[in-house]
């Protein structure tokens, strides 16, 4: 397992444990060195496959695996799944609980009022942390420089951007050099979950890795294509990549 890397559309997602992630996270916070995190599920990678700009953005970030689709893809290419599911909905609350120091957190994204609800939940999870700023995800492009200035003036440690793929990652990397927060992370629907606008699946569904069925029931119109057509398309694309690489004698993963 050690050193394995899942590749897709030219992007590399290393096999990484939660402990390895936290080592990198704590180092970035302590040394205030930039760490830009993109969390990739099958839909993310399919978007990147069709969008060269997005693919280039993700290539400049630390990429974490999210979901059963990537596990199936890793099994097809490398013979085994990722060691841990590092999805943002579970990983980010772990950051709040397990961080070695109190964090100054800026929340950017969600519908109006959602970031406020997420902030209240973060205070419940671990009151050590301070929410130093929050904004909804509805702003004009010309406001972005002002928002980055707010993030910097607040001496932010952790910037969480919840605007969905690919907007959140593109925002982070468009301002990667200007943002002085050491850690910036795209977190998708996290604020909706924290604010309880959207509910998590029962634990038995999470344990069986079928939480997507619960999400599909909640938002069938928005998520149907993602969890059916796009998921099948991702696995088909993985199989095609593996076949092409095998025919050319190219290794399908690195160690």
pLDDT at position 254 is 56
Higher pLDDT, 209 or 235: 235
Q: How many residues does the chain have?
A: 255
Find the helix or strand (DSSP H, E) in which 164 lies: none
Compute the distance between CA of residue 255 and CA of residue 244 in angstroms, rounded to an integer.
20
* Exposure on the CB side of residue 108, measured as CA atoms within 13 A: 22
Span 174-189, average pLDDT:
98
Per-residue pLDDT of 119-164, as tens digits, reads 999 999 999 999 999 999 999 999 999 999 999 999 999 999 999 9
- List helix spans (H) across the chain: 18-31, 42-50, 52-59, 68-78, 88-98, 114-125, 144-153, 167-174, 190-194, 203-207, 211-218, 220-225, 231-248
pLDDT at position 22 is 98
Q: Is the pLDDT of residue 218 over 70?
A: yes
> Residue 150 contacts by C-beta under 8 Å, 6 or more apart in sequence?
106, 133, 135
Min mean pLDDT across 79-93, 135-149, 205-219 is at: 205-219
Question: In the 8-state DSSP scheme, what is residue 51?
Answer: -
Higher pLDDT, 178 or 231: 178
Q: Is the pLDDT of residue 171 over 60?
A: yes
Compute the distance between CA of residue 166 and CA of residue 120 in angstroms, rounded to an integer.
27
Span 105-121, average pLDDT:
98
Average pLDDT over the chain, rounded to an integer? 94
- What domains does the chain contain, in order, with CATH numbers? 5-250 (3.40.50.2300)
Q: Is the pLDDT of residue 255 over 70?
A: no
Question: In the 8-state DSSP scheme, what is residue 141?
Answer: G
% of residues, the chain, pLDDT over 70? 97
């Amino acid at each position: 397992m050690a050193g394995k890397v899942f590749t897709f559309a030219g992007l590399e997602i290393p096999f990484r444990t939660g402990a390895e992630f936290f080592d990198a996270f704590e180092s970035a916070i302590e040394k205030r060195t930039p760490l830009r995190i993109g969390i990739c599920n099958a839909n993310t990678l399919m978007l990147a496959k069709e969008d060269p700009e997005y693919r280039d953005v993700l290539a400049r970030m630390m990429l974490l695996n999210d979901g059963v689709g990537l596990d199936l893809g890793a099994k097809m290419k490398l013979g085994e799944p990722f060691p841990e599911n590092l999805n943002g909905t579970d990983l980010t609350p772990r950051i709040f609980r397990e961080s070695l120091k109190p964090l100054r957190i800026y929340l950017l994204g969600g519908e109006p009022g959602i970031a406020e609800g997420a902030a209240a939940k973060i205070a419940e999870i671990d009151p050590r942390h301070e929410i130093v700023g929050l904004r909804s995800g509805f702003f004009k492009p010309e406001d972005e420089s002002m928002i980055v200035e707010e993030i910097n003036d607040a001496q932010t440690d952790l910037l969480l951007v919840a605007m969905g793929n690919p907007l959140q990652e593109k925002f982070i990397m468009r301002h990667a050099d200007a943002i002085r927060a050491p850690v910036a992370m795209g977190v998708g629907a996290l604020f909706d979950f924290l604010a309880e606008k959207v509910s998590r699946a029962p634990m038995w569904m999470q344990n069986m890795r079928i939480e997507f069925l619960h999400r599909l029931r909640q938002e069938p119109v928005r998520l149907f294509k993602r969890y059916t057509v796009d998921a099948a398309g991702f696995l088909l694309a993985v199989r095609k990549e593996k076949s092409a690489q095998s025919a050319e004698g190219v290794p399908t993963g690195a160690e």
